[in-house]
Amino acid sequence: MIDILMVDDHTIFRSGLQRLLLDETDLRTTAEAGNGAEALELVRRRRFDVVLLDINMEGRNGLEVLASIRAAQPALPVLMLSMYAEEQYALVAIQAGARGYIAKDAEPAELVYAIRCVAAGGQYLSARAASQVSGQLGGRDDRPAHQRLTVREHQIMLMMLKGLSLTAIGNEMLISVKTVSTHRGNILDKLGVASTAELVLYAVRHGIIQ
């Protein structure tokens, strides 16, 4: 039996996903979490075979939570779920330590297959995402600038878009304010913007935030 921790800040989505998995005799949702803090508490005191983790959550986003899960339970497979298209976050998620990435609009059978795949020690990407990731790793990278940020830069960018100060970001990531400032400068340079206000406009244009 594959025991699943489901992490998503939308109760309705979690309920629908749990009902979907009831039809599978080898899968069961043994716990749910609505945010990163709840998820980490569960990971530290209970055993799971797979974590289904949403990227776009209030508070700490899924990539930040993924890093904490990797630190607490390095061998625990994490399958990232997202409303974002695969080309936007798949490579970032894999580089951050996820075992797989799947869009929320995927067919139910594909999600079930992906869960079984990562639980068995494999890695899951759709055929389209796998081709894109392969090309990106091979140097054929035509993604928008924000998709070429490093994992840490991407995490800091998302925190900046939430309005967190450099000090707050440093405290959250356990790095110095000077280091955060350096990353901020690199992010703005890579995206071709001159300020946090311009970064917000960039994020809206590219669908990073609504």
pLDDT in tens, 167-202: 999 888 888 999 999 999 999 999 999 999 999 999
Residues 158 and 108 in one domain: no
**Residue 145 in this model has a pLDDT that exceeds 90:** no
**Residue 135 in this model has a pLDDT that exceeds 70:** no
Residues 15 and 103 in one domain: yes
Mean pLDDT, rounded, for 76-96: 82
Dihedral sign computed on CA atoms, order 142, 145, 150, 151: negative
Would you call 102 helix, strand, or coil by DSSP? strand
* Residue 210, domain member (yes or no): no
Q: What whole-number distance in Å separates Cα of residue 158 and Cα of residue 52? A: 20
Range of the domain at 61: 2-137
Predicted local distance difference test score (pLDDT) of residue 79 = 96
Predicted local distance difference test score (pLDDT) of residue 69 = 94
**Residue 134 in this model has a pLDDT that exceeds 80:** no
Rg (CA), the chain: 17
- Beta strand 27-33 with 2-7 is parallel
Model confidence over 102-123: pLDDT tens digits? 988 889 999 999 999 999 999 9
**Residue 139 in this model has a pLDDT that exceeds 60:** no
In total, how many domains does the chain have? 2
Residues 86 and 157 in one domain: no
Mean pLDDT, rounded, for 91-107: 87
